């Protein structure tokens, strides 16, 4: 029995060192060497200042910007420390009221146009950085008017930022809102 106890203790120490220390260090080092940008959250910096992350949504509220999907993460939305959907069911009155308000606001903003589903619904995490091309096209008139840009020029910018399906078949076409808005600021500065 003493021999089994010593073997068990040695195996516990060995596996703890191997799997608890060595393996995480090797994986972390490999990620930093091979995928440095992805391993560090795909952060975007401009002039030495951190702007945001390509993989996390952040709020854009001004009329001169494309808006991301609505967020239910945290009390004010877009809180990465408290991500997640609301878990409200389709018959929940609170959800129905919010959707009706969002639909009314969207119809006022762009009357007569169909409202894309991702314009009024939240993502499961509340932090989805992408919107559909239909969502971006729905927002074109507002952004073009706020920046005094021809809709055609803005449409071309949206098309440049549209990413297709991964490997041609996975997922849906999408547009990263942060990257689109940064390019929008670079090409068409506010108040020009």
Let me know if 117 is exposed, middle or buried by CB neighbors in 10 A (0-12, 13-18, 19+). Answer: exposed
HSE-CB for 187 with a 13 A CA cutoff: 18
CA dihedral for 37, 43, 45, 50, sign (positive or negative): negative
Q: Which residues pair with 28 in a beta bridge?
A: none
Name the band, by pLDDT with cuts 50, 70 and 90, for residue 14.
very high
Measured at the CA of 182, the angle between CA 177 and CA 187, to 5 degrees, comes to 125
For the chain, domain boundaries: 1-40, 42-187
Report the first-to-last Cα separation within the chain, whole angstroms: 82
Higher per-residue confidence, 37 vs 116: 116
Residues 6+ apart with CB under 8 A from 54: 42, 43, 44, 129, 176, 178, 179
Whole-number pLDDT of residue 88: 80
* The overall pTM is greater than 0.85: no
- Summarised one tens digit per residue, pLDDT across range 159-173 is 999 998 888 889 899
Contact between 151 and 141 under an 8 Å Cβ cutoff? The reply is yes
The torsion of the CA quartet 21, 23, 29, 35, rounded to 10 degrees, works out to -140
- Summarised one tens digit per residue, pLDDT across range 93-139 is 988 898 899 899 889 888 888 999 998 888 777 788 899 999 999 99
Rg value, the chain, Cα? 23
Token reading at 2: 């003493």
Whole-number pLDDT of residue 89: 83
Residue with tokens 């940008």: 37
């Amino acid at each position: 029995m003493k021999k089994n106890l010593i073997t068990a203790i040695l195996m516990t120490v060995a596996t703890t060192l191997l799997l608890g220390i060595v393996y995480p260090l090797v994986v972390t080092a490999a990620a930093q060497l091979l995928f440095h940008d992805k391993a560090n959250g795909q952060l975007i910096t401009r002039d030495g200042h951190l702007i945001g992350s390509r993989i996390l949504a952040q709020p854009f509220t001004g009329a001169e910007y494309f808006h991301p999907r609505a967020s239910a993460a945290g009390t004010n939305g877009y809180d990465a420390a408290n991500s997640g959907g609301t878990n409200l069911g389709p018959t929940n009155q609170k959800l129905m009221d919010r959707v009706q308000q969002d639909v009314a606001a969207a119809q006022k903003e762009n009357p007569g146009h169909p409202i894309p589903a991702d314009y009024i619904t939240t993502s499961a995490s509340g932090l989805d950085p992408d919107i559909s091309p239909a969502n971006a096209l729905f927002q074109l008139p507002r952004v073009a008017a706020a920046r005094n840009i021809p809709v055609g020029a803005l449409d071309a910018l949206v098309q440049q930022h549209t990413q297709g399906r991964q490997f041609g078949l996975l997922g849906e076409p999408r547009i990263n809102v942060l990257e689109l808005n940064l390019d929008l600021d670079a090409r068409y500065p506010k108040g020009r």
